Chain A
Amino acid sequence: MAYDKFNELTSTAVPLPIENVDTDQIIPARFLKATKREGFGDNLFRDWRYNADNTPKQDFVLNNPVYTGKILVGGTNFGSGSSREHAAWAIYDYGFRCVVSSFFADIFKNNAINMGILPVQVSPEFLAKIFSSIEADPKNQFTVSLPDQTITILSTGEKETFNINGYKKHNLLNGFDDIDYLQAMKEDIAGFAKTHAI
């Protein structure tokens, strides 16, 4: 599935200072029954966001109108657990384009990039600064620059760089995806398959 290009994003951010946010929290299994990739945002963080009778839980951050934006900021080890790409779809469908944490689970990180969401891994200290900045004023903005590989707290000017491999960066900047790449090298793959026993 080809996706939006990602270049630079300036936005307020939604704080979720919880560690080990697993993909069962991001999207519980009972909402994985669709055969299309639509509407998952409604069930993002379903059981933290809604009571059993479907009324919103007032103390959950997504139900607090003070917090808005295209950047989701989570505690360390974000996205652990299941490989369900639905977790990335739900985050995207809700409107986020970037997730910031001090550590990501592997499969979630891959799934996010494959969906066109930029996972930005920062140091624990910088993550704490981002949380403090949002706490001080939820209107504070952050700039994520993919070409520069930096994230900046605009209110203070503090900045940190993040890693992403050159191949994925190129893809995100241009809206290319892996399937385009693989389709273009199918002859090589067919050749490999011929000599590869098993």
Chain B
Amino acid sequence: MSNKPTTLFDKVWDAHVVRRIEDGPDVFFIDRHFIHEVTSPVAFLGLESRGIKVMFPEHTFATADHNTPTVNQHLPVADPLSANQLKALEQNSAKYGISHWGLGNPKNGIVHVVGPENGITLPGMTIVCGDSHTSTHGAFGAIAFGIGTSEVEMVLSSQCIMQPKPLKMRINVTGSLGKAVTPKDVTLYIISQLTTAGATGYFVEYAGEVFEKMSMEGRMTVCNMSIEMGARGGMIAPDETTFAYINGRELAPKGEAWDKALAYWKTLKTDEGATFDKEYNFNAADIEPMITYGTNPGMGMGISKSIPKGADLKGGAATYDKSLNYMGFHEQDQMIGKKVDYVFIGSCTNGRIEDFRAFASIVKGRKKADHVTAWVVPGSHIVESQIKEEGILDILTEAGFALRQPGCSACLAMNDDKVPAGKYAVSTSNRNFEGRQGPGSRTMLASPLVAAAAAITGYVTDPRDLM
């Protein structure tokens, strides 16, 4: 080991390189692999056609989430295609000896929620899944990123993928966050500054006071959205907050193994003087509750402001008119006061207990607007249980909200939770692409607080007015 100052990213990456190929990618070892029903079936078909086995089935974990109903999960899945995918996941997992948390399993939930809450996700690991929001797990100081189905097949068959090492970026946010400014607002703000392609080719480390003070749930929200600015992933150095979150979780190391792991985890930070290919500095005081007005996550703005002029945009000016036209908005419109038809709280971005606590803090003692359809979807059964145990369900019920069952739900609208064409949704999920929440749906991304304020008033509302 040399004494050269090294980044957290380099420490973790370099510890996983099995072979460096000249003028090519690294053969990169994967510690944890998550699979779900949508992006894995073809990978298993590939294994079968080649006649190869799963090399380390104990390092792969299967959960059903993308394509599952969020009501009546005890009944057979009505859509035959969805049912077929769920069955394929179950059969493939059984055949190759992979642990499978299907519908009805008490550990079932969204892959990026259940990995951390069961202690599968740990600092210093490399974690992949056929889902771009795998970046979530970077909150623990892991290198975690989404892969395609061909790469799922590689991991199953060899526990490795072929990956060129990305460039390194550090994003520092210093100072203290203002009232009603949540981790979701921090990430939407950063993406609005960098644009939707601003970090493509990079792996991001988030650093500074704001992230140091942030809960693990908040850090997961931020790392989750790294892909929305093009980064493969984002990570935060593990600290006491991280260790306290992991300690005692079912699959986390225990006893002597814990002590050994902890000693290693404490070395996982960027050394003083280590350099990055690109570095950004932001001030927390510049961030207010955010909302998106366009059709990519980079088109976000402070909720009290008016829609920026196309000519002032850093990227995407050419498609600005197309975006606004799709949304039915105009340059310089105020977002506050726009009518809202649907509200969705949930997803791998904002489907954790802290998000429902925030949502409940606003709806408590108030009533849902009559014209709003609200989907309240926990990220997992464990989150669902917490919602009940903490009395949040009572608050929701009194305010006119019903709690659904866990899954990806309206984030990508593969199941029946679809926003109808032309309707407006305030959503705590991660993408506002055209038709993302159903053909013709119009999505405004925001935090759980902004979503709650919209659900109560029926219009885009500054949550600070209700606090």
Contact = CB atoms under 8 A, between A and B. Distances in A.
Interface of A: 1, 18-20, 22, 24-25, 28-30, 32-37, 47, 52, 75-77, 80-86, 88, 103-107, 110-111, 114-115, 165-168, 177-179, 181-183, 185-186, 188-190, 192-193, 196-198
B52 interface: yes
A52 B151 CA distance: 34
The 8 lowest CB-CB distance pairs between A and B, nearest first, are: A167-B24, A166-B23, A85-B148, A83-B146, A33-B81, A111-B148, A114-B150, A35-B41
B200 interface: yes
A178 B158 CA distance: 10
A192 B153 contact: no
B351 to A, nearest CB: 17
Contacts of B55: 186, 189-190
A115 B150 contact: yes
Contact of A107 (B23, B66, B146, B197): B146
In this complex, which of A1, A33, A34, A193 has the most chain B Cβ atoms within 10 angstroms of its Cβ? A33
A167 B20 CA distance: 11
B69 interface: no
Given A165-B25, A193-B29, A107 B433 contact: no
A106 B165 CA distance: 12
Contacts of B157: 179, 182-183
A130 B190 CA distance: 33
B206 to A, nearest CB: 19
A52 B421 contact: yes
Given A179-B50, A179-B158, A183-B157, A85 B39 contact: yes
Contacts, number: 206
Nearest to B322: A18
Contacts of A22: 296, 431, 433
Contacts of B39: 83-85
Contacts of A166: 22-24
Contacts of B18: 185, 188-189, 192
A59 B25 CA distance: 41
Contact of B319 (A30, A75, A177, A193): A75
A106 B232 contact: yes
17 contacts: A20-B316, A24-B412, A28-B435, A35-B88, A80-B196, A80-B197, A81-B132, A84-B130, A105-B200, A106-B201, A165-B24, A167-B24, A167-B162, A182-B158, A188-B18, A189-B27, A192-B29
A52 B81 contact: no
Contact of A80 (B122, B134, B296): B296
Nearest to B156: A179
B102 interface: no
Contacts of A103: 197, 200
Interface string B34-70: 0000110110011001101001100000000011000
Contacts of A77: 196-197, 200, 230, 315
B318 interface: yes
B167 to A, nearest CB: 11
Contact of B45 (A20, A37, A189): A37
A20 B150 contact: no
Interface string B122-133: 101100001110
Interface in B211-262: 227, 230, 232
A80 B132 CA distance: 10
A196 B414 CA distance: 38
Given A20-B316, A77-B230, A30 B148 contact: no
B439 A47 contact: yes
A135 B411 CA distance: 38
A183 B149 contact: no
B345 to A, nearest CB: 19
Interface string B292-325: 0000100000000000000000011011001000
B270 interface: no
A167 B413 CA distance: 38
Nearest to A198: B31
A42 to B, nearest CB: 15
A198 B153 contact: no
A32 B158 contact: no
Contacts of B23: 165-167
A80 B52 CA distance: 32
Given A29-B414, A34-B81, A84-B39, A196 B230 contact: no
Nearest to B134: A83
B380 interface: no
Interface string B261-276: 0001000000000000
B403 interface: no
A95 to B, nearest CB: 20
A139 to B, nearest CB: 26
A128 to B, nearest CB: 11
A96 to B, nearest CB: 17
B160 interface: yes
A32 B436 contact: no
Nearest to A168: B24
B261 to A, nearest CB: 8
Nearest to B431: A81
Given A19-B319, A20-B296, A77-B230, A165 B81 contact: no
Nearest to A103: B197
A114 B45 contact: no
Given A35-B84, A52-B421, A30 B296 contact: no
Contacts of B315: 19, 77
Interface string B5-32: 0000000000110110111110101010
A193 B439 contact: no
B208 interface: no
A6 B369 CA distance: 57
Contacts of A19: 315-316, 318-319
B207 interface: no
B119 interface: no
A181 B18 CA distance: 13
B322 A177 contact: no
B118 interface: no
